[in-house]
């Protein structure tokens, strides 16, 4: 009987790990979409990926003020660490990694996302040193 409980627990942990990996991939995709929108000067598209708490002017100034240094040569993301936490009905994801550029350079990034209406939205993003 104990073996059945261990197997069931292992299967449950496997499903949980799979669900977390899916959540992380969805959150990473949102950050990538935000970067691509910035590269395209699509402020409305970038802002649509932000949490309701974020002011439109914050997304707009980030893109306009930093286009050449952060968005122009955007190529992709590499995420090195992540953390998902649910508390009081709110689910948050923290991602850390590198932004990759077409010239081979990289900049570190960190982002916090909140699950809103079943979708990940950017609550905070920082790119650079």
pLDDT per position as a tens digit, 48-84: 999 999 999 999 999 999 999 999 999 999 999 999 9
> HSE of 127 in the Cβ direction (CA atoms, 13 Å)?
27
Three state DSSP letters for 13-78:
HHHHHHHHHHHHHHHHHHHHHHHHHHHCCCHHHHHHCECCCCCHHHHHHHHHHHHHHHHCCEEEEE
- Residue 79: its pLDDT value, please? 96
CB 82 within 8 Å of CB 24: yes
Q: List domains and CATH numbers for the chain.
A: 2-127 (3.10.450.50)
State which residues of the chain have pLDDT below 50.
Answer: 1-18
- Residue 119: its pLDDT value, please? 96
- Residue 16: its pLDDT value, please? 43
- Residue 6: its pLDDT value, please? 47
- Residue 19: its pLDDT value, please? 59
């Amino acid at each position: 009987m104990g073996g059945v409980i261990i197997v069931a627990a292992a299967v449950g942990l496997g499903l949980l790990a799979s669900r977390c990996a899916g959540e992380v991939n969805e959150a990473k995709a949102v950050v990538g979409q935000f970067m691509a929108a910035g590269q395209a000067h699509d402020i409305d598209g970038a802002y649509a990926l932000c949490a309701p708490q974020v002011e439109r002017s914050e997304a707009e100034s980030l893109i306009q003020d930093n286009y050449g240094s952060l968005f122009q040569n955007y190529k992709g993301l590499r995420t090195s660490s992540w953390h998902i936490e649910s508390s009081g009905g709110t689910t948050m994801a923290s991602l850390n990694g590198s932004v990759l550029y077409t010239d081979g350079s990289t900049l570190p990034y960190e982002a916090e996302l909140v699950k809103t209406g079943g979708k990940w939205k950017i609550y905070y993003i920082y790119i650079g040193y």
